């Protein structure tokens, strides 16, 4: 018996939500009283054994060059191989774009009950019962699995990282299926913190008046180590790429801090951001509906407030 | 190209979400239902494929008779025929089995679904259908072109995009980008008239297991009142974020 975790790497490196996945897996494994097995797929520039810090007892590394680019079915088959050989009860993934793509394939290949968008630790592990986000952040639904085997993917940054003392052995994995989809090229925005795993997010709306004014958003974001986001109208007008659009038909995010500048807070926007732990709204209109959903509000012109906030953060960072 | 577009019937994006008094179900009282926004992009993309190279578009929904107006709307937008599989769509695996079973008999070249439905946000059905059929799957698809039996797709990944290639038949889970919002077709009067005479076939559901069950519903906790900070005092905001909220 075991809990298996997909320890996702991007371009050879682990991200924080991978450590979050391993520690979530370890906590579920402790509830079941079984070991935690992390699975790394593709070549790695880092030490796979560091996953022990977050609770892995064993790491299985699939290093076949055919797995260096992503295919949902092939990645699912690697996880299934480990789930079968380790007699896993559950497989844990972070709900990244790749994680979300793998879950349904794995559920079919392995014959498991999938529960996605998970927002908390399980209420029970037998049967698996866990709370998940639904209705585009306007509700939560608790699901119970009707299968012994389950696949869970959680909302990145919803659970947090935990550390566990211990060491892990690293083994070579084999037996993954061939990819059905061939990756021809990757166009990754560089130098920015990708959504949705960003812990801090600075976001701009129509109130910024044009794409030429995004330097202010980017400067504050860089200073904070935050990701940048935008509202739907901004993405529709192509001021910013669609991958930055947060809201009902964009992406849902779950950061510790969301700073919204010049965004009025339509219900569709709130659907994507209301799970943020702390929301700061900066808007020139004191009647903007977003203030009702905010923790901290500033009524003022973005063009004067934002530079002052950036200066204040600079002074804070300098101590 | 013979295309299947799967349509979810979901609450309008502006809906207030409420649950029944016992918290055991979603309260549909007073809720307006629409075509799932992610599915709309796929339907328009399917129309473009058909206009360019011919073929047919079938729209499918797994649901009760209450979803038929949504299917009729899809017919009015331009689909050729509709299939409703008569069952409550309460579990992703159950729904995926229905769609895969239908697709096995129909020789589709392409199945287009939305990335997720905006009600349960499961994002499971498209990948499950692909795996049940053994077809390639591209999730979060924001662009697709075909040449012969090969498809070039663009997929949104965390903080970027990936270009991928696969052979038809395949399944994509689409979203905005597949077509833009301004390109979305809306039903015109002629479409609405002809939709009435297009076939809407109701089929019984295949027997399949439910692997999960929704057992209780709850709303997020209400937020405390907003704390206003003076626009001339950003030092104070930074202090609050550091000392009170502890997020920086």
Whether the predicted pLDDT of A196 surpasses 90: no
pLDDT tens sequence across B148-179? 999 999 999 988 899 999 999 999 999 999 99
Our CA-based measurement puts residue B125 at a distance from the nearest CA of chain A, in whole angstroms, of 7
CA distance A30 to B215: 24
Q: Which pLDDT does position B24 carry in this prediction?
A: 96
Determine, for residues B231 and A147 on separate chains, whether the beta-carbon distance falls below 8 Å.
no
Q: Contact A129/A143 with Cβ under 8 angstroms?
A: yes
Nearest Cβ partner of B162 from A183, A271, A294?
A183
pLDDT more than 70, % of chain A: 99
Q: Which pLDDT does position A204 carry in this prediction?
A: 97
Q: Which CATH number fits domain A195-317: 3.80.10.10, 2.40.50.140, 3.40.50.1220, 3.40.50.11540?
A: 3.40.50.1220
Q: For residue A16, what are the contacts with CB-CB under 8 A and spacing of at least 6?
A: A161, A197, A199
Whether the predicted pLDDT of A66 surpasses 90: no
- Kindly state the tokens that stand for B54: 């011919």
Rounded to an integer, the average pLDDT of A252-257 is: 94
Our CA-based measurement puts residue B225 at a distance from the nearest CA of chain A, in whole angstroms, of 7
A190 band by pLDDT with thresholds 50, 70 and 90: low
pLDDT tens sequence across A3-62? 999 999 998 999 899 999 999 999 999 999 999 999 999 999 999 999 999 999 999 999
pLDDT tens sequence across A130-151? 999 999 889 999 999 999 999 9
Determine, for residues A140 and B219 on separate chains, whether the beta-carbon distance falls below 8 Å.
yes
**Separation in Å, CA B215 to CA A138, A143, A221, B61, B76:** 17, 6, 40, 24, 37
Q: Which pLDDT does position A53 carry in this prediction?
A: 97
CA-nearest residue to B37 within chain A is: A249
Q: For residue B248, what are the contacts with CB-CB under 8 A and spacing of at least 6?
A: A200, A224, A257, A313, A316, B238, B241, B242
CA-nearest residue to A199 within chain B is: B247
Q: Contact A129/A122 with Cβ under 8 angstroms?
A: yes
CATH 1.10.287.70 for the A3-172 domain, yes or no: no
CA distance B146 to B138: 14
- Architecture of domain B2-219 in this structure: 3-Layer(aba) Sandwich (3.40)
Determine, for residues B245 and A146 on separate chains, whether the beta-carbon distance falls below 8 Å.
no
Determine, for residues B140 and A97 on separate chains, whether the beta-carbon distance falls below 8 Å.
yes
CA distance B12 to A256: 28
Q: Which pLDDT does position A253 carry in this prediction?
A: 92
* pLDDT averaged over every residue in chain A: 95
- DSSP state for residue B98 in the 8-state scheme: H
**Separation in Å, CA B120 to CA A112, A134, B37, B125:** 19, 5, 13, 11
- Partners of B161 in the β-ladder: A187, B156
According to CATH, where is 3.40.50.1220 located in chain A? 195-317
Determine, for residues B127 and A280 on separate chains, whether the beta-carbon distance falls below 8 Å.
no
A218 band by pLDDT with thresholds 50, 70 and 90: very high
In tens digits, what is the pLDDT along chain B, a chain of 248 residues? 999 999 999 999 989 999 999 999 999 999 999 999 999 999 999 999 999 999 999 999 999 999 999 999 999 999 999 999 999 999 999 999 999 999 999 999 999 999 999 999 999 999 999 999 999 999 999 999 999 999 999 999 988 899 999 999 999 999 999 999 999 999 999 999 999 999 999 999 999 999 999 999 999 988 889 999 999 999 999 999 999 999 99
- Kindly state the tokens that stand for A301: 């012109």
Q: Which pLDDT does position A249 carry in this prediction?
A: 85
Closest by Cα among B108, B167, B116 to B141: B116
Q: Give residue limits of the domains in chain B.
A: 2-219
pLDDT tens sequence across B73-100? 999 999 999 999 999 999 999 999 999 9
ipTM over the 0.85 cut-off: yes
Q: A249 to chain B: which residues are within 8 Å by CB?
A: 13, 37-38, 118, 175-176
Phi and psi for A210 in degrees, rounded to 5?
175, 160
Q: Which pLDDT does position A61 carry in this prediction?
A: 97
CA distance B43 to A241: 23
Determine, for residues B120 and A141 on separate chains, whether the beta-carbon distance falls below 8 Å.
yes
B138 touches chain A (CB under 8 A): yes
CA distance A222 to A283: 21
Q: Which pLDDT does position B154 carry in this prediction?
A: 98
Q: Which pLDDT does position A191 carry in this prediction?
A: 60
Our CA-based measurement puts residue B45 at a distance from the nearest CA of chain A, in whole angstroms, of 17
Residue among B164, B183, B208 with most chain A CBs within 10 A, to mutate: B164
Q: pTM of this prediction? A: 0.95
């Amino acid at each position: 018996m075991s809990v298996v975790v997909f320890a996702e790497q991007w371009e050879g490196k682990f991200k924080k939500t991978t450590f979050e996945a391993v520690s979530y897996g370890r906590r579920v494994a402790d509830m079941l009283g079984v070991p935690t097995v992390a699975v790394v797929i593709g070549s790695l520039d880092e030490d796979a054994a560091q996953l022990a810090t977050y609770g892995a007892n064993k790491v299985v590394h699939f290093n076949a060059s055919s797995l260096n680019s992503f295919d949902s079915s092939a990645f699912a088959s690697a996880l299934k191989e480990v789930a079968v050989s380790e007699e896993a009860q559950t497989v844990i993934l972070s709900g990244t774009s790749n994680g979300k793509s793998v879950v349904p394939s794995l559920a079919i290949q392995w014959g498991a009950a999938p529960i996605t968008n998970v927002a908390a630790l399980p209420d029970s592990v037998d049967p698996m019962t866990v709370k998940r986000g639904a209705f585009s952040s306007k509700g939560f639904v608790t699901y119970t699995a009707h299968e012994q085997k389950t696949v869970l993917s959680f909302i990145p940054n919803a659970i947090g990282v935990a550390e566990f003392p211990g060491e892990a052995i690293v083994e070579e994995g084999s037996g993954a299926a061939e990819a059905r989809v061939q990756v021809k090229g990757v166009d990754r925005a560089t130098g920015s913190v990708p959504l949705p795993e960003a812990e801090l997010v600075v976001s701009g709306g129509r109130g910024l008046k044009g794409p030429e004014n995004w330097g202010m958003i980017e400067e504050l974001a860089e200073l904070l180590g935050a990701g940048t986001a935008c509202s739907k109208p901004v993405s529709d007008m192509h001021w910013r790429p669609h991958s930055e659009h947060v809201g009902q038909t964009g992406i849902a995010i779950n950061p510790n801090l969301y700073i919204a500048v010049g965004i009025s807070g339509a219900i569709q926007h709130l659907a994507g951001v209301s799970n943020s732990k702390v929301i700061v709204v900066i808007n020139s209109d004191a009647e903007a509906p977003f203030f009702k959903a905010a923790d901290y509000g500033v009524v003022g012109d973005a063009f004067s407030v934002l530079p002052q906030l950036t200066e204040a953060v600079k002074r804070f960072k300098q101590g | 190209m013979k295309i299947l577009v799967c349509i979810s019937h979901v609450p309008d994006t502006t809906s207030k979400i409420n649950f029944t008094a016992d918290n055991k179900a979603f309260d549909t009282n007073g809720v307006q239902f629409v075509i799932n926004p992610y599915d709309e992009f796929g339907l328009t993309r399917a129309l473009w494929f058909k206009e360019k190279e011919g073929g047919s578009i079938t729209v499918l929904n797994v649901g009760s008779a209450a979803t038929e107006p949504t299917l009729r709307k899809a017919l009015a937008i331009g689909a050729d025929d509709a299939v409703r599989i008569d069952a409550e769509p309460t579990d992703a695996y159950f729904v995926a089995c229905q769609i895969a079973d239908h697709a096995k008999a129909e020789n589709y070249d392409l199945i287009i679904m939305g990335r997720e439905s905006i009600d349960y946000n499961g994002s499971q059905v498209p990948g499950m259908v692909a795996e049940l059929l053994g077809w390639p799957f591209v999730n979060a698809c924001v662009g697709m072109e075909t040449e012969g039996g090969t498809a070039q797709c663009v997929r949104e990944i965390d903080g970027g995009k990936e270009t991928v290639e696969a052979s038809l038949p395949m399944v994509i889970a689409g979203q905005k980008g597949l077509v833009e919002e301004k390109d979305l077709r809306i039903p015109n009067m002629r479409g609405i008239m002809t939709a009435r005479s297009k076939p809407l076939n109701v089929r019984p559901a295949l027997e399949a297991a439910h692997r999960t069950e929704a057992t209780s519903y709850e709303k997020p906790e209400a937020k405390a009142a907003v704390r206003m900070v003076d626009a001339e005092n950003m030092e104070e905001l930074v202090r609050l974020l550091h000392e009170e909220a502890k997020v920086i």
